[in-house]
A and B are shown apart, each in its own frame.
Chain A
């Protein structure tokens, strides 16, 4: 048994990552209600005591694991949106980054299990609250970007519907990648989905992005 490192200031050690990654498999195989923190520690290669040092209950661990799944994506997404001023480039970068992270997960043989956490949230109020917080945060990030760039749109009234459209596409991309759609095809899908945004912009796609590296995939 390896000792599990501390999780400090939101930075997660590789051991803690393994713990988060494995806990969902333990929940599925041994049951969310029936499994113990010892079972989860064992699956992740650390002692139950070590897990208990950081998490007093399964609920806490499940919520932390869900947050970890979320942060893994949202940090990149947030950075991409901040790096690109215009809405087209920002959404393109978000979609591409999302595909890249998801494909890396699949290639590293790490499952994409976030949906199980969502199902767990339907039977556990503590996890549900955490999930709702994360979901709202993610939605606001995308919505805020559209609001920032509203002058680029033909009609302000499209802000919300376009933001929700991209949230829908992102959810779909996750499922498609999870079930084995080749990643190069997912980039093409992302480009297709951006066509909607282009149609709702005053000046269409910014010229500088044409022929970008990912698009040629």
Chain B
């Protein structure tokens, strides 16, 4: 069982679930961090899937693409499916860990959402500038074609949302009415997804911040009178 430690997590959030991973103690992920070299290697492997096909790619192909050996790959992943699951975990853990930690630093809703939006932009732009995760959506689409992986992807997405919705629920007293919390949380989840795509489309740093700031007007409009930021 492999779990990713979450820095700065407080007991205000639901307990973290862990996924049954297949990585050994030689796992190159340490404290939830993946070296830039390994991020590039994972991305190269997804490129192999895209060009050679998930069905036809072998663990050997992945070893060549990642610049490692077949032994190394086989030591960590018994199958291509396990590789995909690990690549998904890598992507989500990196974002979720960081975003949860930012979320936990702010007790009030508006500063929390603002900080998470800005952090998300920074992380996404960092990845875009480094040229990693360029084929993330292909990986997600491959995963969609496998029922087990698809289920795991949904669980990961849900887990990320749970913490975010929890923050809105926790701070619902700041909102005009209690029942706005879920729809607002989903609205911001939509904004995150949209921002992630706009980063891939090459939207400028400045424009990304403008989008985040516009979206924050929605939250400001739902806050009870007297709560200003």
Query: A interface vs B, CB < 8 Å?
Result: 24-25, 27-35, 111, 113, 115-116, 118-120, 122-123, 135, 161-162, 164-165, 167-176, 179-181, 185-186, 188-189, 192-193, 195-196, 199
**B218 and A192 within 8 A (CB):** yes
B126-147 near A? 1/0 per residue, CB < 8 Å: 0000000011011011101100
Q: Known contacts A24-B141, A30-B56, A185-B186; is A165 also within 8 Å of B214 by CB?
A: yes
Which has the most chain A C-beta neighbours within 10 Å: B144, B187, B189, B198?
B187
Q: Which residue of A lies closest to B180 (CB)?
A: A192
Known contacts A175-B193, A185-B186, A193 near B137 by CB under 8 Å: no
Nearest CB on B from A46, distance (A): 20
> Is B214 in contact with A180, judged by CB distance below 8 angstroms?
no
- CA–CA, A111 to B138, complex, Å? 13
Chain A residues within 8 Å of B214, by CB: 161-162, 165, 196
A176-B186 in contact (CB<8A): yes
- The minimal Cβ–Cβ distance linking A154 to chain B, given in whole angstroms, is 13
Q: Which of B138, B145, B154, B189 has the most CB of A within 10 A?
A: B138
A196-B196 Cα distance, complex, nearest whole Å: 20
Known: A172-B191, A176-B186, A188-B186. A31 touches B138 (CB 8 A): no
Contacts of B53 in A (CB 8 A): 27-32, 34-35
| Residue positions of B touching A, CB distance < 8 A | 47, 49-57, 134-135, 137-138, 140-142, 144-145, 153-154, 157, 182-184, 186-187, 189-198, 200-201, 203, 207, 210-211, 214-215, 217-218, 221
How far is the CB of B221 from the nearest CB of chain A, in Å?
6
Q: Is A135's CB under 8 angstroms from B51's CB?
A: no
Chain B nearest CB from A102 CB (Å) reads 12
Contact in complex: B51, A33 (CB < 8 Å): yes
How distant is the Cα of A29 from the Cα of B195 in the complex, in angstroms? 28
Q: Which residues of the partner chain B approach A180 to less than 8 Å between Cβ atoms?
A: 154
Q: Contact: B190 with A189, CB < 8 Å?
A: yes
A-B contact pairs, 14 of them (CB 8 A): A24-B141, A34-B56, A116-B50, A123-B47, A164-B211, A169-B191, A170-B194, A172-B191, A172-B197, A174-B193, A179-B154, A179-B157, A186-B186, A189-B186
- Beta-carbon contact of B52 and A199 below 8 Å: no
What's the Cα separation between A29 and B201 when bound, in Å? 25
Nearest-neighbour CB distance to chain A for B169, whole angstroms, equals 15
In this complex, the member of B153, B186, B194 whose beta carbon has the largest number of chain A beta carbons within 10 angstroms is B194
The 8 closest A-B pairs by CB, nearest first: A31-B53, A172-B194, A115-B137, A172-B190, A175-B193, A168-B194, A172-B193, A30-B53
Contact with B51, one of A25, A34, A195 (Cβ below 8 angstroms): A34
On whether the beta carbons of B218 and A193 are closer than 8 Å, the reply is: yes
Contact call A115/B207, Cβ cutoff below 8 A: no
A176 near B189 with CB under 8 A, answer yes
Q: Which B residues are CB-close (under 8 A) to A161?
A: 207, 210-211, 214
